[in-house]
Amino acid sequence: MLPTLQLGPLALQVPGLVLLAGLWLGLTLSERRARRIGENPGDLFNLVFIALIAGIIGARLSYAITYPSAFAANPLSLLSINPGLFDPLAGVFIGICAAAIYIYRKQLPFWSTLDALTPFFAVLAVAQGIAHFAAGSAFGTPTDLPWGINLWGATRHPTQIYEILLAAIILLAVYLIDKSQLGQTSGFTFLSFIALSSAARLFSEAFRGDSTLIGNGFRSAQIISWLVLAACLALLGRRVQLARTTEKTSQ
Amino acid sequence: MQRLNLTIWITFSTVVLLLGAIWIWFSITPPGTTTQGSIPAPQQGFLAPDFKLTTFAGDSYTLSELRGKPVLINFWASWCPPCRTEMPAIQRVYDEFQDQSFIVLAVNTTYQDDLGDAITFAQIRKLTFPILLDRDASVANLYDVRSLPTTFFVDPQGIISEVVIGGPMSEALLRIRAEQILEGNP
C-alpha cells in the first residue's frame, strides 16, 4: 500500500494521482477512437470537462447545503481541497445532468457518444482498482488461501487485485466488442461495458470485508449490481432487436 | 447481427441473472461480520490501536481509557506548515465541543521534531488540548503515519470513522466530523 508519496516537503496522494493518470489515458484512448471513426474528438473532451467541473462544483455545493451552519461559519471552506467535503452521489448526478445537457445542445448522437466514451470509463475502472490498492481501501475478508495478502491485521482476499484484473479483462473485452460486428450497433459497446462491470462487481463483492449489509445480510452493492445488470441485458436485447428491424427495413 | 438470435439472448440473460441471484444468496454474511471493529488497525472501520503517551507536563493519556468519548487524534510536527495552519481550527472546534466530551489528542512526532519548538508553538497558539509526545515513533508506526499531518476521527466505541491524510483540514470539515461523531452518525 502506498497512500502517499513524499517528495521533499510535498505529500502526494497516490490514489488521486492514479485516478488523474487514468482520466488522462482514458480520454486519450476515447479521442483516438473518435478520430479513427471520423467523429470529433473535441466534443468528447468538452463533454468530459464540463461533466467533471459540474460534478465537482455540484458535489461541494450539495455538501454545503447539507451542512449550512459549518460553511456559514467558514465560507472559505467552500474552496477547500479536502475530499471529505464533497457529496459524491450528488456530484455524479449533477455531472451526468451536465453531460446530458451538453449532448442535447450539441445534438450529439446519444448511444454513439456513450460508445465513444467507453474506453475512458474502462481505463478509469482499472485506475480505480489501482487507487484502492494504493490506499488499502476496498479490502477483502480474511482468508487462508495462499494468495491472501497481509493487510489491516489479517491475511485477506486481495480484492483490489481482483478488481484490477477484472477491470483489465473488461477493458480488453470492450475493445474486442467495439471492433466486432456487434460493436457496429450503437450503444452495444457501452452497454456491454456496464453489464460486464456490474457482473464483475456482483462477483467480487462477495470477497469484500467492507460491504454495506442490508436485510438479512445481503450485500447492497451486489443487489444494485444485479439490477443494473438486468437493465443492461434488457437494453442490449432491445438495441439488437432495433438494429435487426432497421436492417430488414433497409433491405 | 443476424447471428445474435433474440431467443438465445433472452435465454442467456435469464441464465446469467439466475446465476447472479444464486451468487448473491451464496454471499450472504451475518450482519456485523464485514465491519472490522474488533481488529486494531489504522484504517476506517477498524478499532483504533491503543497507545499510552505523556504530555509536556508528564500527564499520561491512554486511548482505551477514553472509550465512550469521541476522539480526534492528530499527528503533527512544529516544522510542518499544514500542521501549523490547521491547529487554530482544531483549537476552535475543541473549544466548541469539549463540553460534549469531544477529545483532541495532538500527538507530536517528537522523534522528528525539536521539543523546544513544539512547546513554543503550543504556547504561542494557546493550545489547550493535550499535546502528547511520541519520542520513539512507536505510536506513529502503530498508526502507519507516512506524512504529516495525519488525523484519525475515532467514535465513542473506539472505531476509526475517518482518516484524513495531509492538510490543512478546513474548519468546516472538523466541525462537521465532530458533530457527526457526537450525533452517532460518523
Q: What is the ipTM of this complex?
A: 0.88
| % residues pLDDT > 90 (chain A) | 71
Distance between CA atoms of residues A153 and B159, nearest Å:
15
Chain B residues whose CB is inside 8 A of the A213 CB are 29, 31, 34
Which pLDDT band, with edges at 50, 70 and 90, does A113 fall under? very high
User: Does residue A197 have a pLDDT over 80?
Assistant: yes
DSSP B162: E
Q: Residue B85 corresponds to which cell in the numbers above?
A: 495552519
Q: Do B164 and A3 touch (CB under 8 A)?
A: no
Which pLDDT band, with edges at 50, 70 and 90, does B138 fall under? very high
Distance between CA atoms of residues A163 and A179, nearest Å:
24
Which pLDDT band, with edges at 50, 70 and 90, does A4 fall under? confident
Distance between CA atoms of residues B53 and B172, nearest Å:
29
Which pLDDT band, with edges at 50, 70 and 90, does B185 fall under? low
With a CB cutoff of 8 Å and minimum separation 6, the contacts of B65 are none
pLDDT digits (tens, 9 = 90+) for B41-91: 998 889 999 999 999 999 999 999 999 999 999 999 999 999 999 999 999
* Beta carbons of B96 and B175 less than 8 angstroms apart: yes
| Cα A67 to Cα A6, A28, A70, A83, B173, distances in angstroms | 33, 38, 6, 15, 10
Catalogue the long-range contacts made by B25-33 (C-beta closer than 8 Å, 24 or more residues apart): B26/A206, B27/A205, B27/A206, B27/A219, B27/A222, B28/A216, B28/A217, B28/A218, B28/A219, B29/A211, B29/A213, B29/A217, B29/A219, B30/A217, B31/A213, B31/A216, B31/A217, B33/A141
Q: Which B positions 55-114 lie with beta carbon below 8 A of chain A?
A: 81
Chain A residues whose CB is inside 8 A of the B44 CB are 137
Mean model confidence pLDDT for chain B: 91
Instruction: Find the CB nearest A82 among B16, B26, B173.
Output: B173
Interface test with B, best of A76, A182, A194, A213 (most B CBs within 10 A): A213
- How many CB pairs (< 8 A) connect A and B? 146
